[in-house]
Amino acid sequence: MKINLKATGIELTEAITNYAEKKVNALEKYINKPEGSYLARVEVARTTRHHKEGFIFKAEIHITGSGFDVYAASEAEDLYAAIDMAEAETAHELQSEKGRHRRLLRKGQRAFKNAILGIGSRFRRK
């Protein structure tokens, strides 16, 4: 998986890079595409500077490839927590997409089988 990592308003340290890459690479198990056929764009940012106490961090994960497009974003007071929440939301979206694909495939197979057997058709063989 190709990963593009971008930081806005904060310095992109090696620890943040390693953590984000580890979390995004864990999402590969939900994708049934050949290696390298998809791109993950990850953006971590500090959203505002005007809070009286602490910062609010944002993490966005956008995975695109042939046939799918998944996006998730989250905000938290801790950067690592924001990355974790975005990864969990992306995993949920990928599982949902995988289930949707499987459901449509089975529905098509069932329709083809019924057409061959003449089940459910107006013009049934007698």
Task: Spell out the domains of the chain, with CATH numbers in brackets.
Answer: 2-90 (3.30.160.100)
**All residues at 6 or more sequence positions from 73 whose CB lies less than 8 Å from its CB, including other chains:** 58, 59, 60, 61, 86, 89
Q: What pLDDT was estimated at residue 48?
A: 72
**Using an 8 Å Cβ cutoff, are 44 and 16 in contact?**
yes
Closest Cα partner for 67 from 38, 103, 35?
38
**Using an 8 Å Cβ cutoff, are 72 and 93 in contact?**
yes
Structure tokens at 64: 């695109």
**Using an 8 Å Cβ cutoff, are 35 and 71 in contact?**
no
CA dist 72 and 85 (Å) reads 9
Encode pLDDT of 42-81 as tens digits.
999 988 766 566 778 999 999 998 777 899 999 998 999 9
Encode pLDDT of 30-45 as tens digits.
887 666 688 999 999 9
